[in-house]
Structure formats: structure tokens, C-alpha cells
């Protein structure tokens, strides 16, 4: 109830400020808009007003729910790197190498693997519906990822990168970050290698150094006001590739894991804060 009321107040305030943008001069209007968005963020950063918190609770229920042919819960069988069923601190060390799968995995591809291999579930639909649409109230994967991410809040990103496959994943991610391709010649570098730039009015993160990457990378999954839902890091990568005019990249694919490894390592020492609030 409180959430809804604050949300409406904030939206109304935001709309009023936007009217101001149209009335004032360009520079002034943009400054006002930026201030308005900042105020909006402050209001929404109130830990009890972030609608994304609901996903944490729903994710916990899903984590502990028995499912699949083997009728076991993820909590009973899934090792996210810190021991079977342990969620505390796991996210801060992902992606990492898992010997059972002989692969480097991020939080979402690991959860998917546990569902398929350890719970014995058909994951076709989990994959297909991993990114929820407007008004769907979130997908199973979004809720689980938010729950696991939230259990590392306040902890610092610390990837060991000891296993050769972890080192390779990082190196591939770095290559992909700078890979210009497609009809528009875009790479991640095109938009994310300078401080203080934007697309239209959207601020862009400089993902080539810790100072720029930490605020962006430590905060997914995040509640996105523009879509009224929680979006995950897999979604962020996938949607960037869509905007880059590339073909659709596979959910939980090695390319996305590699990029996430590169970005998380670049954000080393950044404090996890999930679910954050974003535009």
C-alpha cells in the first residue's frame, strides 16, 4: 500500500518536473530534469518502497519449492559455489567455474542448469520466458536471480579467476566488449567507454574502469520504472545486442557469461546492491 502511494507521488512529481523542462531553456530544463530524476531515485531508494523487493520474497519461495521429475527444491540440490543450498555471498563470486558442468556460469545460467540437471525439469519454457513482458509480474528466473543477488547485498564483488576456464571467459568477454560488428558497426565500446556521455537523455556507464562500472554492474537485477518490472543482467546483455542490431543472443550462452565475467571483474570491490532502482 505504502509502496503504491509513494510510487504515485513520485510519478506525479516527475511529470510536473517534465512540464518544467518544456517551459525552461534547454540547459536549465535538463538540469531540472536530472534533479527531478535524482529526487525520484532518492524516494524510490527507500528500502520499503522498492517494488523489486517483492521479487526477493517470491524468489525465496521458488528456491525452496520442490519441483521437477526428482521432486527436489533448488535449496536441497543446487550449489551456487558456496555449498549446496547456500545463497549468502554466492552472487558476489559469480560467474565462476563449476566442475559438475565443466563450465563457467553466471547466476542465471547456473540456476537454469540446476533446474534441468538436478531437479529434472524441462527448462524450455523457463528459458523462453526468462524475460517477462509488461504486466506479467516477473518470471521465475527474474525472481530467483533477484533472491540470490539480494543475499549478497553489502558484500563486495570478488571473482577469483583462478581456473583456466574462468581466465578464458574473462578474456573472451573482453574481446567481445571491443568487437565491432553488425550493420551499424557497434561494439560495447561504442557507448560504454567514456565518462559522462548519454544516448538521448539516458546516462551511459563507462564500463572500462571500476569507477564507471561499479554503479552499473553491482545493481542488476534491478527494478526498472520504465518497464514496471525487475530486469536481470542476462536481459541487459541481450537487449544491448538487440540495440546493436545483432541477432538474438542465447539466454545463458557462453558469450553472455563471458561478458558478465569481464564486467564483474572490472567492478571488483564494488558492493552488491540488489534489487536497485533504475529508469
For other proteins, the binding residues (CB under 8 A) are 21, 26, 29-30, 124, 127-128, 164, 167-168, 171-172, 175-176, 178-187, 189-191, 194, 196-202, 204, 242-243, 245-250, 253-256, 258
Shortest Å distance, C-beta 278 to other proteins: 18
- Which residues participate in catalysis according to the annotation? 240
* Contact call for residues 265 and 94 (beta carbons, < 8 A): no
The stretches of 24-158 forming alpha helices (DSSP H) are 26-44, 53-64, 74-77, 107-113, 124-128, 140-150
Residue 165, classified by CB atoms within 10 Å of its CB into exposed (0-12), middle (13-18) or buried (19+), is middle
Residue 71 vs 202, nearer CB to other proteins:
202
Taking alpha carbons only, the member of 107, 131, 33 closest to residue 260 is 107
Distance CA 258, CA 250 (A): 13
Which residues face 229 on adjacent strands? 224
DSSP tag of 81: S
Helix, strand or coil for residue 107?
helix
112 closest CA partner among 152, 154, 141, 84: 141
User: What is the C-alpha to C-alpha distance for residues 91 and 128, in angstroms, rounded to an integer?
Assistant: 23
Contact (Cβ atoms closer than 8 angstroms) between residue 94 and residue 105: yes
Q: Least separation, in Å, of the C-beta of 229 and other proteins? A: 18
What is the spatial distance between Cα 64 and Cα 47, in angstroms, rounded to a whole number? Answer: 24
Amino acid at each position: 500500500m505504502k509502496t503504491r502511494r509513494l510510487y504515485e507521488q513520485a510519478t506525479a512529481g516527475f511529470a510536473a518536473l517534465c512540464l518544467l523542462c518544456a517551459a525552461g531553456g534547454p540547459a536549465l530544463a535538463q538540469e531540472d530534469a536530472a534533479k527531478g530524476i535524482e529526487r525520484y531515485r532518492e524516494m524510490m531508494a527507500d528500502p520499503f518502497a522498492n517494488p523489486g523487493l517483492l521479487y526477493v520474497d517470491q524468489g525465496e519461495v521458488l528456491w525452496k519449492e520442490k519441483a521437477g521429475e526428482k521432486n527436489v527444491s533448488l535449496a536441497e540440490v543446487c550449489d551456487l559455489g558456496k555449498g549446496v543450498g547456500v545463497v549468502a555471498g554466492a552472487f558476489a563470486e559469480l560467474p565462476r567455474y563449476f566442475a559438475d558442468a565443466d563450465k563457467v556460469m553466471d547466476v542465471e545460467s547456473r540456476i537454469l542448469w540446476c533446474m534441468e540437471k538436478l531437479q529434472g525439469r524441462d527448462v524450455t519454457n523457463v528459458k523462453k520466458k526468462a524475460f517477462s513482458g509488461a504486466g506479467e509480474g516477473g518470471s521465475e528466473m527474474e525472481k530467483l536471480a533477484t533472491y540470490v543477488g539480494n543475499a549478497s547485498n553489502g558484500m563486495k564483488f570478488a571473482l577469483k579467476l583462478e581456473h583456466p576456464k574462468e581466465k578464458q571467459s574473462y578474456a573472451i568477454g573482453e574481446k567481445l566488449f571491443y568487437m565491432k560488428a553488425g550493420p551499424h558497426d557497434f561494439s560495447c565500446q561504442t557507448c560504454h567507454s567514456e565518462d559522462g556521455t548519454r544516448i538521448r537523455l539516458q546516462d551511459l556507464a563507462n564500463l572500462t574502469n571500476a569507477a564507471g562500472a561499479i554503479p552499473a554492474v553491482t545493481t542488476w537485477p534491478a527494478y526498472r520504472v520504465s518497464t514496471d518490472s525487475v530486469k536481470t543482467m542476462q536481459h541487459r546483455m541481450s537487449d544491448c545486442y538487440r540495440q546493436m542490431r545483432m541477432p538474438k543472443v542465447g539466454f545463458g550462452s557462453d558469450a553472455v557469461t563471458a561478458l558478465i565475467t569481464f564486467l564483474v571483474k572490472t567492478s571488483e570491490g564494488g558492493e552488491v546492491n540488489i534489487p536497485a532502482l533504475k529508469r
